[in-house]
Amino acid sequence: MALKNPSEIRSVSGITDIEKEKIFDFLQGAVYCWCKNRKDEWFSLRDLMGGDNYDWDGTPLLPLYNKHINKGKASEEAIRDAGKDCGWILKRVINKDKRTFETKKEDLIRKYRWVGNEK
pLDDT tens-digit map of 13-31: 899 999 999 999 999 999 9
Residue 5 buriedness (CB in 10 A; 0-12 / 13-18 / 19+) = exposed
Contacts with 96 (C-beta within 8 Å, 6 or more apart), sequence order: 2
Using an 8 Å Cβ cutoff, are 57 and 102 in contact?
A: no
The closest alpha carbon to 47, from 115, 98, 111, belongs to 111
Is the dihedral angle over the CA atoms 28, 50, 101, 105 positive or is it negative?
Answer: negative
Query: How much is the average pLDDT of 23-48?
Result: 95
pTM: 0.90
pLDDT classification of 1: cutoffs 50, 70, 90: very low
